[in-house]
Structure 1
Amino acid sequence: MSAGKPEKGSPLALWKERLTELFHRYQYALLVVAAGVVLMVLPALGGESKAEEPQQESVQEVEFGTEELEGRLEEALSQMDGVGEAKVVLTLRSGPSQVLAQDIQRSIGEDQSQSTQSTVVISQGSGSEEAVVLQQLSPQYQGALVVCSGGDDPAVRLRVVEAVAALTGLGADKISVSKGK
């Protein structure tokens, strides 16, 4: 008896023949089952990072940087003739916000009426949900202070006030321009 091959007629050889026969008979069914198992395992392996990305993107869209806008204003104002180096400080009345879709259900009875309100959400698979955003609202500014080296010149002050008003939506009475050092 050799150690590498089972002898013909032995129980091991019979099982081997049966398994090869079954494999050849059901090879396509086994292939479909293997593909199904792979497809079920794929979301568990790579789906978590994909599900987190849209949430991070939507958070980034909602985030608003007052410092970033101040920096952009400073850069733009410094490029204007006569302004010189500018420093801008903005104050917010309210930050950016979103208007979410609402589902309102009303029931009217003989003696009373009742209504329930809930936020509309979209299921994105893997148990994650995201609210439906109808509108993205910009922040509302309360006031602005601009300190610049040309702040004592009335013509420069007027141009600075007009520029800041155009970019922030503030009225001229809410914008202060001062001469810097």
Structure 2
Amino acid sequence: MVNSFFGYLKRNKKSLLPLLLAVLGVALIFFSSFGGADKQDDGKEEKSLDEYKAELEEEIRSLCASVDGVGKCKVFITFERGEERVYKGSTLIEVKPPQVQGVTVVCRGADNDTVRCRITEMITALFDIGSNRVAVLKLNS
């Protein structure tokens, strides 16, 4: 069967060119699916949402702990949605970070109204969220 096929191609050389072009086209389509056209290679590693959240919580925890009277604290952050990717055609234009929905700070100094107010003001200014989206609670000893 294979010998008869190659024998046919040797006798009919005009049908060889379209066949080779068709095979080449199929090969190009197949190998293009392995390409990395959608990859963004700007030297930065992409972080998962959990990694971003943990890093942000640690930064806020450290910042809150540096406020006078706060003491030991824990921070929990919630997001409205994940990161947003803005495209123009098939080109990635911008990656917007996740939008913070709310922040909870649990600390030893939260029984002091001044400390609670300072933390709330700091969080609302950092994330541009309303004070109703910030909870500051006392940490159990």
Task: Give the TM-score category using the shorter length.
Answer: 0.5 to 0.7
Distance in 2, matches of 1:139 and 1:178, equals: 24
3-state DSSP of counterpart to 2:110: coil
- Cα distance in structure 2, aligned partners of 1:101 and 1:54: 14
Higher strand share: 1
Aligned twin of 1:83 = 70
Kept in 2: contact 1:89–1:145 (CA 8 A)? yes
Residue 54 of structure 1 deviates from its aligned partner by: 5.8
Give, in angstroms, the shift of residue 143 of structure 1: 1.2
Letter in 2 for 1:159: R
Q: Which residues of 2 match residues 31-50 of structure 1 at below 5 A?
A: none
Q: Which runs of 5+ in 2 are unaligned?
A: 1-38
Residue 142 of structure 1 aligns to which amino acid in structure 2? Answer: Q
Give identity over the alignment, percent. 31
Q: Is the 8 A contact 1:88 1:145 kept in 2?
A: yes
Corresponding residue of 1:96: 83
Separation of aligned partners in 2, 1:143 and 1:94: 12
Give the AA of the match of 1:145. Answer: T
* 1:28-59 alpha-carbon deviations (Å, 9 max, x no partner): xxxxxxxxxxxxxxxxxxxxxxxxx964845x
Of the three residues 137, 140, 144, the one matched with 2:103 is 144
- Select which of 156, 161, 165 maps to 2:124: 165
TM-score by length of 1: 0.50
SS in 2 for 1:176: strand
Give the deviation of 1:62 after TM superposition.
Answer: 5.9
* CA RMSD between the two structures: 2.3
Q: Report the CA distance shift for 1:54/1:100 in structure 2 as closer, same or farther (over 3 A).
A: closer
User: Which stretches of structure 1, 4 residues or more, deviate above 2 A after TM superposition?
Assistant: 53-58, 60-64
SS in 2 for 1:81: coil
- The residue correspondences of 1:103-122 to structure 2 (distance < 5 A) are 120=90
Counterpart position of 1:155: 114
Aligned ranges 1:63-82 → 2 under 5 Å: 63-64=48-49, 65-82=52-69
Q: Rg bigger for which structure?
A: 1
